[in-house]
Amino acid sequence: MSIKRKVKAVEQLFGHLDKEILAFQTHTRLHCVTGCGKCCTKSDIEASPLEFLPYAFQLFVEGNAELTLEELKGESSPICHIYQPLSLTDTQSGSCGKYQYRGLICRLFGYAAARNKLGQLQLATCKVIKEGQLDNYLKAAKAIEQGLKLPVISNYYSKLAQIDFNMGTRIVPINQALRLALTEVLTYYAYRPFRGGAKRIA
Ligand code: SF4
């Protein structure tokens, strides 16, 4: 499958997920706190290269892929390269610098379920939501027990793997996932002409 088709397939998967999340949010009223960037500052976020393929492809189209790859090679922080803190001293407030191109894990966290040892679905969310929206959180947990539909993390990663098994099942630290996605796009187009879409600048 070509890079463009893989990007399209990942974007379609994200589109489906966004609709499921919206339905869950509407039902439960759970929501991220505006300006909170706490989950993005975790140093142990892991992701697959495939979920960042749309981001890498967009950078390539803009002519920024090589530059970003160099930045990532020199990155010593484990915190996501895309994250934009509100200030250098604040570890809580900030935002995703490329929200439209955030990965699968970024979309799922807070609004999706993981299965516990008994196979039961449990909402995977953060302390900020659990404590700050306790009433709605408890109601959501009860509704999930009673069968409320919500995205299931393992199901979405299975769907991702169906697009490209190697890139979709390789789970690595988030900045490594970004590097691998960029390398994939740059290698693919190293010996192929790039046709269509926006003009490549670099
Ligand atoms: S891609 Fe965006 S949402 Fe995901 S961890 Fe990085 S900054 Fe946060």
Number of domains in the chain: 1
Note whether residue 202 is domain-resident: no
pLDDT in the model for residue 202: 39
**177 CA distance to ligand 1 middle (Å):** 12
Note whether residue 54 is domain-resident: yes
The pTM of the full predicted model, rounded to 2 decimals, is: 0.90
pLDDT in the model for residue 197: 53
Does any ligand 1 atom lie closer than 6 A to the CB of residue 177?
A: no
Structural domain harbouring 126: 3-190
Kindly give the number of the ligand 1 atom that is closest to the alpha carbon of 37.
Answer: 8
pLDDT in the model for residue 193: 82
From residue 18, give the alpha-carbon distance in Å to each of 10, 14, 130, 156. Answer: 12, 6, 21, 12
**57 CA distance to ligand 1 middle (Å):** 17
**Ligand 1: which residue has its CA nearest to atom 5?**
40
Note whether residue 196 is domain-resident: no
Does any ligand 1 atom lie closer than 6 A to the CB of residue 124?
A: no
Using alpha carbons, select from 65, 9, 93 the residue that is nearest to residue 198: 65
**116 CA distance to ligand 1 middle (Å):** 25
Using alpha carbons, select from 173, 188, 194 the residue that is nearest to residue 72: 173
Q: Average pLDDT per run of 10 along the chain, which is 202 residues long? A: 96 97 95 90 95 98 96 93 85 89 96 92 92 95 94 97 98 98 96 67 40
